[in-house]
Structure 1
């Protein structure tokens, strides 16, 4: 049985935009689409589900569609469904979020706790409708980006679009500065050159998706600024997230929080395997 792409719905326009995006994604990958609405026990309404199902059928009539209403809080319901999902897709805000919030509390909670990739559908229509032909993935030094790079390459492959791999770095010292070595000096000295970080991250996976067009960007500066700039003309931004040692959930970190709140396009948070 093929695991479904799960989309959370609540009747808001943002959740319907997420349904539109998820329907296209399910069609691209040939997976079922499952609509989930979380409601309080006293609320036996299926109106959000009906409206979302109509949107999904209109956008992707060949996709196998199912739906359900769960009587528990939305974040817990979606995280539970994410244990057996191709990915979770959410709107950037829901009906219950406070005015002025950049990202809804449910979307942020699910992105921090889910076992599968979580896509938060953000941005204007041109970013949501795949008009740029480009996917951006953030690559960090270490092992935290491997699954994110694989996810991004697979997306570029099925969409037949360009992948832009971005690695941001910062120099430890100025050329003439000679401060006393801090405790992390030895680790800093053994870091790989920035270009090699990208080469190593892409080498094996690029062989699997040889038809994908991949470009590399090495940027000196904060990662959040580099990723947001690259995402300005992208259809999807992909970032990785490490798992917490000894704790449930993921280490989203400052960079992931920044792009979740400010990305101009849909953003996928992919847990490290």
Structure 2
């Protein structure tokens, strides 16, 4: 146990909700919590102090101190037993938070910040950090169902395996069940080489469905042994992955996905499924790239 949870704040309502989530995550892990604000203005040579014509408590510097202080107070009110620190770091949010993620076991961020455009479901920092972070990134969207399971997308990829590992560890911390969901179509299922080149079909009827069932069972087998206290079920559906995960998120307290799945293109940091659930899931979303600190 132990480690570090980082939460990015910018004074928005979304980031304060993220602070509450991060405080609970730190408490579950018995970890430290660091509240981080990326202070862009000094790099742009903008005056930071109060204006001679304005109140002494005005100015960008005081505003930042106030918003960080409010975030720290919010964290301590949610989890008073957690060691909470704060850092104001000069730089652009993505660069600052990516650097912070190198030492963290989890980074938490709101879905949209102060710079969000009207109609934009998820801010660019949340999307980019999910693609570039060095540890799992938890994007706080809607609240989720506190009594629901931790839903994880399973696809047999390396990042998918890391996502399953994160989901079981998270479920153990939350004392919640895991629901592993695998969706497949004839387009995304791997096709083995036929035994007989003259055979009219690469797979006999029903073979793909059985193969996909085995993929999920194998992905969960070791985790069930490591986390015997976590009730786990799996569901294999024929259909598009993003739609199946978004539908499952209605009843979930957390949705976990790998940054890229087995259908990802080389060099693509964030897959289309991960991108879609960040924008449309009905609960918080954890995107797993690096492993971060162990729970």
- TM-score normalised over the length of structure 2: 0.81
2:82 alignment partner in structure 1:
63
1:238-272 CA-partner distances (Å, limit 9, x unpaired): 0012499986xx63211111100001000000016
Mapped to 1, the partners of 2:265 and 2:281 lie a distance apart of 28
* Aligned counterpart for 2:168 among listed residues 137, 153, 168: 153
- Contact 1:120/1:266 (<8 A) preserved: yes
Mapped to 1, the partners of 2:275 and 2:266 lie a distance apart of 21
* Aligned counterpart for 1:105 among listed residues 124, 148, 170: 124
Mapped to 2, the partners of 1:246 and 1:80 lie a distance apart of 24
Indicate whether 1:239 and 2:257 are aligned. Answer: yes
Shift of 1:144: 2.9
Q: How many residues align?
A: 258
Shift of 1:23: 0.6
Q: Which moved further from structure 2: 197-206 or 6-15?
A: 197-206
Residues 60-209 of structure 1: pairs in structure 2 closer than 5 A: 60-123=79-142, 125=143, 127=144, 131-171=146-186, 186=193, 193-209=211-227
1:229 alignment partner in structure 2:
247
Gaps in structure 1 of 5+ consecutive residues = 174-183
Q: 1:221 to 1:154 in 2, by over 3 A?
A: same
Shift of 1:171: 2.6
Gaps in structure 2 of 5+ consecutive residues = 47-59, 195-201
Q: 1:104 to 1:64 in 2, by over 3 A?
A: same
Q: Cα RMSD over matched residues?
A: 2.5
1:84 counterpart SS class:
coil
Shift of 1:143: 2.7
Mapped to 1, the partners of 2:193 and 2:94 lie a distance apart of 42
Q: 1:204 to 1:251 in 2, by over 3 A?
A: same
- TM-score normalised over the length of structure 1: 0.88
